[in-house]
Amino acid sequence: MTKAKFIYEKNKFMTFTISGHADYADEGLDIVCAGISATVITSLNLLMKLLKGKFSFTEKQEEGFMNFEITSNDIDLNTREFVDLVVSNLYESLNEISETYPNHLKVKIEK
């Protein structure tokens, strides 16, 4: 099962971690994994462009692990609002996948 955990502090998204494998089907045929991956990678690419190095990112592909953390408070208000919109959209998108495939993806948010 893939687990997605989002940390929301002081009215801002700060961190998200995706871990595990969906195990819906064999590698290369796993539509749940493909949906999760496409959603997360699209969001990550946009966040990395927006934050220009004001983040840390760790990935261990074999383990199905990635962690993204905003590491700076020095982000202008417009960028911060857009970052929160991107992460909120990621959370909502993964939540939709988990509603359809609850045995393969679990999403939680910690406030």
Contact at 8 Å (CB) between 51 and 12?
no
What pTM was estimated for this model as a whole?
0.94
Q: What is the DSSP letter of 42?
A: H
What does the pLDDT average to over 80-98? Answer: 98
pLDDT tops 90 at residue 84: yes
pLDDT tops 90 at residue 47: yes
Dist. CA 92–CA 88, nearest whole Å? 6
Q: What angle do CA 19, 23, 26 make, to 5 degrees?
A: 130
What does the pLDDT average to over 100-104? Answer: 98
Nearest to 50 by CA among 18, 72, 82, 77: 82
Both tokens of residue 18? Answer: 């995706």
pLDDT tens for 3-39 read 999 999 989 999 999 999 999 999 999 999 999 999 9
pLDDT tops 90 at residue 91: yes
Both tokens of residue 74? Answer: 């020095």
Dist. CA 87–CA 81, nearest whole Å? 10
Name residue 29's amino acid: L
pLDDT band at residue 62 using 50, 70 and 90 as cut-offs:
confident
Q: What angle do CA 55, 76, 80 make, to 5 degrees?
A: 60
